[in-house]
Amino acid sequence: MTKRKLVLVGNGMAGIRCLEEILNIDPERFDITVFGSEPHPNYNRIMLSSVLQGDTTVDDIVLNSYEWYAENNIQLYTGETVEKIDKDTKQVFTDKGRSVPYDDLILATGSHPFMLPLPGADKDGVIAFRNIEDCETMIDTSKKYERAVVIGGGLLGLEAARGLLNLGMEVDVVHILDYLMERQLDPTASAMLQEELEKQGMNFLMNHHTEAILGKKRVEKVTFKGGKVVKADLVVMAVGIKPNVDVAKASDIETNRGIIVDDYMQTSAPDIYSLGECAEHREMVYGLVAPLWEQAKVLAKQICGVDAENGYQGSILSTKLKVSGVDVFSAGEFNDSQNNKAIRIQDEFEGIYKKVVVRDNRIVGSVLFGDTTEGTKLLNMINNETDISEIGKVNILQSVDQSESIVIDMDDSEIICGCNGVSKGDIVSAIKENGLASIAEVRDCTNASRSCGTCKGLVGDLLEHTLGDEFEVGTEKETVCACTTLTHEEVVAEIRDKGLSHTREVMNVLGWSTPEGCSKCRPAINYYLGMVHPTDYEDEQESRFVNERMHANIQNNGTYSVVPRMYGGVTNAKDLRKIADVADKYNVPLLKVTGGQRIDLLGIKKEDLPSVWADLDMPSGYAYGKTIRTVKTCVGENFCRFGTQDSIGLGIEIEKKFERLNTPHKVKMGVSACPRNCAESGIKDVGIVGVDGAWEIYVGGNGGTDLRAGDLLCRVKTSEEVLEMIAAYLQLYRENARYLERTSHWLERVGLDHVKSVLLEDQDMKEQLVSRMDITLSAIPGDPWKKFIESEKDKEELFQSKALEVTKS
Amino acid sequence: MNEMKEGQRVKVAHLDELPIQIGKEVIIDNHHIALFRLTSGNVKAIENKCPHKQGPLAQGIVSGEHVFCPLHDWKIDVTTGEVQKPDDGCVKTYPVEVVDNIVFIVI
Ligand code: SRM
Ligand SMILES: Cc1cc2nc3c(=O)[nH]c(=O)nc-3n(C[C@H](O)[C@H](O)[C@H](O)COP(=O)(O)OP(=O)(O)OC[C@H]3O[C@@H](n4cnc5c(N)ncnc54)[C@H](O)[C@@H]3O)c2cc1C
Ligand code: SF4
Ligand code: FES
């Protein structure tokens, strides 16, 4: 039997999703051909906002790679547009002069962005925000130009504006009404949103009617009714979309706003179907992805001759703004009216606003601002028309949290993650089959919660429901990685109890699901073993990340950087000369002073590393390690007119004492000789500040991703006491923190009071910590660079590539 | 440079030169290859170039039948060259033969 020929017009989210559903039902049924105007395989359009905001890249948002099409024997024509359909002879014609016959045809042509017909709208630099090209244009423009005007204060406009801000442009958002996102928000939420976005640096021109776009070839200015003029190098129009009905119209298929379809996604023409943004179902056209998943399922069944039951019944939509730092959710009928009553919570301190609109004891809509955790649950209650008369009205917002989760009653086919179309069944089977135990693992495995994140709560509920007692509510059990169900603490306890001494032994005895672990657990176990057995354990090179194995920092192009030690940031002419000579000899592409008070030689070839180290003849600065990094110092009493103490001397002493010590994460220290704090001791893992006759010790500071000021641990008189307190503190951290937990996060978790009670109130415990630190320090191996230089075997194994030439034989 | 012939067997190393679970970069003409000796004893060869952003796979952490790219931690099957979910892609693989502890790659 020959296969039926299926042609899909539109290589976007709806069309391809439908093909996936069809292939699931019956992979052998069709010979499939796909046409797409864009020169790309199918990608996740909603993630363009994240690409623009710099959170991900174009490569990462591809949903179906070219290999996917090949593997499924799908003939794909990209960069080719279908212009007309001949319904009688059943074939499609493209702009490249190709014609292809079909037995069944699917139209999934999406939307056109709506471009305001303003004078000057055809100038260079006036674009929409719809596809990869638009995104790339904005990124390129931001490199050359400064001012952007976004027309439209809806979802898309605000996401574009946030992206342009991130790209370093100045952004005006023009909106025709008095309040933003009027289709999703009520005036209260809208005002809160505007205030928040203004804080982020967006400038709003509310109640402005754009009149014209001026400029020679390229846009230079935008003018408004009433005479106002603003400068613009780029104009992004985000005022709406209109269903793309071009082919349908040209081929006499019935259209209204969209291509008219029935409950089985069938158009007016035989064997021609439509879905996605171009389709109009019961006078509704949708501009969001959630309806696609349902439409795709129905159409796949219909086209494969499987009973599609009641077909597609329409969708209630929710939306979420994908702008970092702003949580906005909206669904259903959220505006007040005569028949509706609303429950409101507004917390002006925390910037939280929640509104739930109720009619006849059913929730019909909701707006959430500042805290959107209940979003998906509310949406579900709206969809299921849950009777809330039993739940005290005022408690709805709290009680949805506590009541039995709605996921339990959901059908396996119901969608949990609207952005990526992941159903309850998909998630549950992924949890079971792959032994997933955290929301992050579910995200990595199924994509659920990857895009807007609203469904995280439900994913958590599903984990809890599926794993039962193994999963603890709220405080989700954080296992070391997907290879085990044990937490960091449990692994360390087992190593101690059972006297385990080797990574493979740990994995074996503790029932790892993978024989040799992964890139997350191996380095962690290696660290724990070294911490528990400081004198006996032999560090495992093969369980170290590349940087720590090579003792240099890998760069994006596979070369390495080299940072020699410069104790306390102090150097001398001899060392500087050596660095200069090495830079000349090896043509080092970049010499840079680091933020850690020393010099970085960047761009060194792997093969050259051992000889660079030999020529430098300086110890490694460990700029790559989970270990002591730098001890920054200020000038101090010997030169500075304010200095009260010898900060340089103490800094050098600290660095020499603790260098090469393995720690759960990197440790940075600083010593300043007065509270002016020129060595930034306030944002160091351990920061020392000299005051008259004493040293203050600050802990838990961090200048990185989560900025945190250090807390004063104590004040001591002498530098010996400083060294001793640091030893005790770092040993406590080494023994109790999870691998890859910085001191700042660890301190937040266990609390300053706990640390104080051990170090300041329990003299015995403190002394034991110090003595365990001393044992550890006494067993630290020598400088790694030196070791490499001296070992031909290491040099050969780790640093040399083999280059061979092949001769004709 | 000499022209290569398809399907040629090239002697690349003695087994003892390859530490277990630590990759080795081998360059044969213009093929950049990451060679791995696994704990199982098998030796595998794949293109030394991560499909994500060209990370040098020979420097990754090797676990079981997989290598984790040193740059952004993509997980790649060293036998099939397939990138593991949720990422996508695949790298070229090269047949390896080990005869009398001598490792050959077929290119
Ligand atoms: C070289 C240097 C930048 C510079 O040119 O100044 C640098 C370079 C890198 N930093 Fe840094 N950091 C450098 C000072 C800092 C500082 C400032 C400081 O130390 O005073 C900070 C903030 C302070 C802090 O950590 O509290 C800093 C916060 C980070 C973070 C965020 C850590 C955090 O806990 O939030 C990372 C990411 C990580 O470690 O996971 C990071 C990671 C990196 C890595 C290693 C990225 C990586 O994993 O490959 C960078 C290597 C670049 C390369 O291609 O070689 N770097 N990094 C600085 C080296 C200092 C040194 O002499 O050792
Ligand atoms: C920046 C941005 C952010 C978004 N964020 C969200 C969000 O957070 N949540 C949400 O639910 N939705 C969001 N959306 C909307 C969502 O992306 C769309 O609803 C979804 O992509 C619609 O899928 P579709 O297949 O109908 O159309 P598309 O994905 O647009 O696919 C249609 C494809 O068909 C091609 N085509 C059209 N005509 C032809 C022809 N004649 N021949 C060949 N090919 C043709 C088009 O070039 C296009 O590639 C966002 C959209 C954008 C642009
Ligand atoms: S801030 Fe640090 S990690 Fe980020 S790019 Fe600069 S050097 Fe790299
Ligand atoms: S280059 Fe390999 S994971 Fe990014």
Q: Whose CA is nearest to atom 3 of ligand 4?
A: B72
Nearest Cα of chain B lies from the Cα of A489 at a distance, in angstroms, of 23
Please answer whether residues A686 and A661 qualify as being in contact, where contact means their C-beta atoms are separated by less than 8 angstroms: no
Answer yes or no: do A255 and A226 share one domain.
no
Q: Give the separation between CA A651 and CA A646, rounded to whole angstroms.
A: 9
pLDDT in tens, A419-450: 888 889 999 999 888 878 888 788 878 888 87
Q: Which of A597 and A376 is assigned the larger pLDDT?
A: A597
Among the atoms of ligand 4, which is closest to the Cα of residue B74? Answer: 3
A342: amino acid identity, one letter: A
Handedness of CA A50, A53, A56, A57 (dihedral sign): positive
Residue to mutate (ligand 2; options A7, A8, A13; most atoms within 8 A of CB): A13
Please answer whether residues A253 and A86 qualify as being in contact, where contact means their C-beta atoms are separated by less than 8 angstroms: no
Residue A223 in this model has a pLDDT that exceeds 90: yes
Q: Give the separation between CA B79 and CA A478, rounded to whole angstroms.
A: 31
* Contact between A543 and B61 using a beta-carbon 8 Å cutoff: yes
* Contact between B29 and A805 using a beta-carbon 8 Å cutoff: yes
Q: Give the separation between CA A639 and CA A631, rounded to whole angstroms.
A: 19
Q: Give the separation between CA A657 and CA A36, rounded to whole angstroms.
A: 64
Instruction: Report residue A500 as tokens.
Output: 């385990």
3-class secondary-structure state, position A119: coil
Element (H, E) at A735: helix A719-736
* Helical segments of A184-236, H only: 187-199
Indicate if ligand 1 lies below 6 Å from the C-beta of A589.
no
Centroid of ligand 4 to alpha carbon of B68 (angstroms): 9
Cβ count near A714 (within 10 Å):
17
Element (H, E) at A784: helix A784-790
Residue reference for tokens 């490569």: A59
pLDDT over 90 for what percent of chain B? 79
Q: Does B53 touch chain A (CB under 8 A)?
A: yes
Q: Among B6, B21, B63, B82, pick the best mutation site for testing chain A contact (most A Cβ within 10 A).
A: B63
Q: Of A787, A791, A806, A803, which is closest to residue A605 (Cα–Cα)?
A: A803
Domain ranges of chain B: 9-106
Please answer whether residues A466 and A434 qualify as being in contact, where contact means their C-beta atoms are separated by less than 8 angstroms: no
Nearest Cα of chain A lies from the Cα of B62 at a distance, in angstroms, of 7
Structural domain range at position A495: 488-544
* Mean pLDDT over the full length of chain A: 91
**Which positions in chain A touch B58 (Cβ < 8 Å)?**
801
Q: How confident is the model at residue A662 (pLDDT cuts 50, 70, 90)?
A: very high
Structurally, chain A folds into a number of domains equal to: 5
Chain A CA closest to residue B11: A804
Answer yes or no: do A655 and A763 share one domain.
yes
Instruction: Give residue B3's pLDDT.
Output: 46
Answer yes or no: do A82 and A31 share one domain.
yes
Q: Give the separation between CA A179 and CA B99, rounded to whole angstroms.
A: 75
Nearest Cα of chain A lies from the Cα of B56 at a distance, in angstroms, of 6
pLDDT in tens, A112-153: 999 999 999 999 999 999 999 999 999 999 999 999 999 999
Length of chain A in terms of residues written: 809
The whole-angstrom distance between residue A546's C-alpha and the CA centroid of its chain comes to: 23
Peptide bond preceding B86 in cis form (omega within 30 of 0): yes
Please answer whether residues A802 and B24 qualify as being in contact, where contact means their C-beta atoms are separated by less than 8 angstroms: yes
Answer yes or no: do A636 and A758 share one domain.
yes
Assigned CATH topology for domain B9-106: Rieske Iron-sulfur Protein (2.102.10)
Answer yes or no: do A31 and A53 share one domain.
yes
Size of interface A-B (CB pairs under 8 A): 109
Please check whether residue A375 lies inside any domain of the structure.
Answer: yes
Instruction: Give residue B1's pLDDT.
Output: 40
Centroid of ligand 1 to alpha carbon of A603 (angstroms): 16
Nearest Cα of chain B lies from the Cα of A546 at a distance, in angstroms, of 6
Q: Which of A59, A519, A554 lies closest to B68 in CB terms? A: A519
Length of chain B in terms of residues written: 107
Answer yes or no: do A218 and A266 share one domain.
no
Answer yes or no: do A278 and A344 share one domain.
no
* Contact between B22 and A62 using a beta-carbon 8 Å cutoff: no
Answer yes or no: do A217 and A250 share one domain.
no
- Residue A499 gets the label, from left (phi > 0), alpha (psi -120 to 50) or beta, of left
> CATH no. for residue A346?
3.30.390.30
Please answer whether residues A697 and A650 qualify as being in contact, where contact means their C-beta atoms are separated by less than 8 angstroms: no
Instruction: Report residue A712 as tokens.
Output: 């004063």
Answer yes or no: do A293 and A199 share one domain.
no
Residue to mutate (ligand 2; options A129, A136, A289, A294; most atoms within 8 A of CB): A289
> CATH no. for residue A51?
3.50.50.60
Centroid of ligand 4 to alpha carbon of A465 (angstroms): 35
Torsion of CA A168, A172, A174, A175, to 10 degrees: 80
**Which positions in chain B touch A556 (Cβ < 8 Å)?**
53, 71
Please check whether residue A343 lies inside any domain of the structure.
Answer: yes
Q: How confident is the model at residue A1 (pLDDT cuts 50, 70, 90)?
A: low
Instruction: Give residue B2's pLDDT.
Output: 44
Residue A809 in this model has a pLDDT that exceeds 50: no
Please answer whether residues A695 and A651 qualify as being in contact, where contact means their C-beta atoms are separated by less than 8 angstroms: no
Q: How far is CA A57 from CA A14, A325, A629, B7, B53, in A?
A: 22, 20, 31, 37, 11
Q: Give the separation between CA A23 and CA A791, rounded to whole angstroms.
A: 57
Domain's final residue, options A185, A205, A239: A239
pLDDT in tens, A722-762: 999 999 999 999 999 999 999 999 999 999 999 999 999 99
Centroid of ligand 4 to alpha carbon of A183 (angstroms): 41
Please check whether residue A603 lies inside any domain of the structure.
Answer: no
Q: Which ligand is nearest to the CA of B57?
A: 4
Q: Give the separation between CA A154 and CA A149, rounded to whole angstroms.
A: 14
Q: Give the separation between CA A550 and CA A606, rounded to whole angstroms.
A: 9
Please check whether residue A589 lies inside any domain of the structure.
Answer: no
Burial readout A692-704 (b: 16 or more C-beta within 10 A, e: otherwise): eebbbbbbbbbbe
Instruction: Report residue B94 as tokens.
Output: 């090269």
Instruction: Report residue A547 as tokens.
Output: 């940087």
Answer yes or no: do A265 and A353 share one domain.
no
Instruction: Give residue A643's pLDDT.
Output: 86
Answer yes or no: do A40 and A93 share one domain.
yes
> CATH no. for residue A710?
3.30.413.10
